[in-house]
Amino acid sequence: MDARVAEFESECRKHLDRFFAVFPDAMMQMRAHKSLRLLRANDKQLQGKAEGWAAGIVYAVYTDGKIPCGIPGILNRDFEALMGVTMGTVRDRAARVMDILDL
């Protein structure tokens, strides 16, 4: 793994950990970190910022590949503010996560 990939993964982990520090859910946190590992193991290049991918991972694991309706108990605007991305980016990244992981 090159340094850039390691740095990207580390940044994603920081964003995921920050989210789960505010909204604790041990099971979803494990699923999110596993999803990140699977994404990094995939051959497809992840273009974009780490916070967008982290937000997409969270959204994907909470919606579990179903029709996205948000994260239970969290307003979209609060999620956007915490993760530092727009819901458009979140949904785009979540769709890519689900596609890459075949959810």
The reported pTM is: 0.90
Q: Which domains does the chain have, with CATH numbers?
A: 3-41+48-101 (1.10.472)
The CA-to-CA distance between both ends of the chain, in Å, stands at 25
DSSP structural state of residue 4: H
Specify the residue for token string 């590949």.
65
Specify the residue for token string 């604790």.
24
Name which residue leads in pLDDT, 101 or 26: 26
pLDDT higher than threshold 90 for residue 47: no
